[in-house]
A and B are shown apart, each in its own frame.
Chain A
């Protein structure tokens, strides 16, 4: 019962470096999401994919790109990391966009 799996769990980047956060779900869900969590801010949606082959911007998309590689996998890319992107990133999936979402364990990213 893996659910939603994120890799890596921790990462430290230097300003300007790039990296890709990976997410995979084994629940055959159609929709997948990327959120970031900052102290006192709750969870804010970066991008989502309503179904395989589609992606849309959320509340805070600037500085990020996403790829819905197939039904299982949804990756988040930081092309040129900035200190403001230091955060905890969560991937989630749901059966459809109006259904309850299930979350991964998170990736703790620090940009120095």
Chain B
């Protein structure tokens, strides 16, 4: 199936710092989604992107759908302790077999140091 390369795998930051993570693919995607997962919980949708170049914010979170349709990034500004968790990118491939299959990256584990 399609592969999404998400980086970094993990990061430790000081409270108040900004965070940036990204996701890339070798093929084109129709949608890019960003999820957050807390321990013992299911993933929760943060931001959904449907158009190339689209830049969308949700509070302190901002995500962009790359112009090439092969990448997306998520920024978190002024991090707080409750931002701790695993962030997943996900997307729907452009066409062909599997285009209905929402594909996930392996996640970025974020730790915030107070």
For chains A and B in complex, what number of residue pairs have CB atoms within 8 angstroms? 59
Contact with A along B1-27 (1 / 0, CB 8 A): 100001000000000000000000000
A48 touches B104 (CB 8 A): no
> By DSSP majority rule, is chain A's interface helix, strand, loop, or mixed?
strand
Contacts of B48 in A (CB 8 A): 100
- Contact mask for chain B residues 91-107; partner A; CB cutoff 8 A; 1 contact, 0 none: 01000000011111111
Chain B's interface size range is 20 to 34
Cα-based distance from A97 to B43 in the complex (angstroms): 18
Interface string of A69-110 (1 = CB under 8 A from B): 000000000000000000000101010011011111110000
- In the assembled complex, the Cα of A40 lies from the Cα of B102 at a distance in Å of 18
Shortest B81–chain A CB gap in Å is: 22
Please count how many residues in chain A sit with their CB below 8 Å of the partner chain's CB atoms: 27
**B45 contacts A98, C-beta separation under 8 Å:** no
A42 interface residue per 8 A CB criterion: yes
* Contact, CB under 8 Å: B41 / A98: no
Residues of A within 8 A of B92 (CB): 97-98
